[in-house]
Amino acid sequence: MNVLRVDASIQGPASASSALADLVTTELVGARPDVTVVRRHLGAQPLPADAWATAVGAGFTPEADRTPEQRDALALAGAVAEELRSAEAAVLALPLYNWGVSQHVKTWIDLAIAGGGAGTPLLEGTPTVLLTTRGGSYAPGTPKEGWDHSIGYLRRILADVWKADLTVIEREFTLVGVNPALDEFTEVATLLKKEADAAAVAAGRALAAR
C-alpha cells in the first residue's frame, strides 16, 4: 500500500497534529509492514509561494515560449498532483492557523489543482484521514464559534472536489498547558486529547484493514 502523509505544522516535535498522524501511521505500518509512506512536510519544507502563479501562467503560454521557471513550476505542480493521484491512502495533518488553513497548505492545494486540473478528483475513493488541531475551542456557544474557516474549506476540497473517502479527527485546546489563560480548561483538554488519540489509533487500524 502506498500511503501519502502530509504535515503542515510549524511546531516541529511539539506539533499536536503530527502527533495524531504518528498514531495513525504507527498503527497502520505496525499491522501492514509492506506499507510505503510517502511524506511531504509543508511546514518544514514549504513549497515555493510563487510556484502556483507561475504554473498557472505557464498554462497560458505556448510550450516553446515557457521560461525555465515556468517549466519548473509546472513540473512541481504535476508532481504534487501525482502524489495525491497515486496514493492508496492519505494521512493529512493540517492544523488551524489564524482561523484558516496555513499559507503552506493553500499553496499545496493550489499547486495540486494546477497540476491535476480544476475539478479533477485526485483522491477519488481514496481512504483519507484528516487530522486537524486548534489551540482553543471553536465549539457552539464559545466566544470563537464560527471563527474556524479551515475545516469547512478542507472538507470541500478533500471530499467534494477531490472525492476522498474522508475521515475527520479534530482536537481542540492544544494550547492548554502552554497559554496560562486556558488553564481552567485542563480537564476538558485532557479528555479531548484522549478521545482524539483513540480516534487516530482506530483510523490507523481501519486503514490497515482495507
* C-alpha closest to that of 82 among 111, 47, 104: 111
Tell me the pLDDT band of 117, cut-offs 50, 70 and 90: very high
Mean predicted lDDT score pLDDT of the chain: 97
The pLDDT of residue 60: 94
How do residues 62-89 score in pLDDT, each as one tens digit?
999 999 999 999 999 999 999 999 999 9
Tell me the pLDDT band of 205, cut-offs 50, 70 and 90: very high
**Grid coordinates given for 144:** 470563537
The pLDDT of residue 74: 97
**Grid coordinates given for 90:** 492519505
Cβ neighbours for 109, distance < 8 A, ≥ 6 positions apart: 101, 157
The pLDDT of residue 195: 98
Structural domains of the chain in order of their starting residue, each with its CATH number: 2-209 (3.40.50.360)
The β-bridge partners of 7 are 41, 93
The pLDDT of residue 99: 97
The β-bridge partners of 93 are 7, 131
Average pLDDT over residues 24-29: 97
CB-CB contact of 162 with 127 (8 Å):
no
Tell me the pLDDT band of 175, cut-offs 50, 70 and 90: very high
* C-alpha closest to that of 26 among 180, 197, 166: 197
Tell me the pLDDT band of 25, cut-offs 50, 70 and 90: very high
Cα dihedral 70, 75, 76, 79, rounded to 10, equals: 160
The pLDDT of residue 206: 97
The pLDDT of residue 56: 96
Query: Cell 487530522 appears where?
Result: 131
Average pLDDT over residues 4-24: 97
The pLDDT of residue 5: 98
Tell me the pLDDT band of 131, cut-offs 50, 70 and 90: very high
What is d(CA 204, CA 200) in angstroms, rounded to the nearest whole number?
Answer: 6
SS3 of the chain: CEEEEEECCCCHHHCHHHHHHHHHHHHHHHHCCCCEEEEEECCCCCCCCCHHHHHHHHHCCCHHHCCHHHHHHHHHHHHHHHHHHHCCEEEEECCCECCECCHHHHHHHHHHHHHHCCCCCCCCCCEEEEEEECCCCCCCCCCCCCCCCCHHHHHHHHHHHCCCEEEEEEECCCCCCCCHHHHHHHHHHHHHHHHHHHHHHHHHHHHHHC
Who wins on pLDDT, 210 or 27? 27
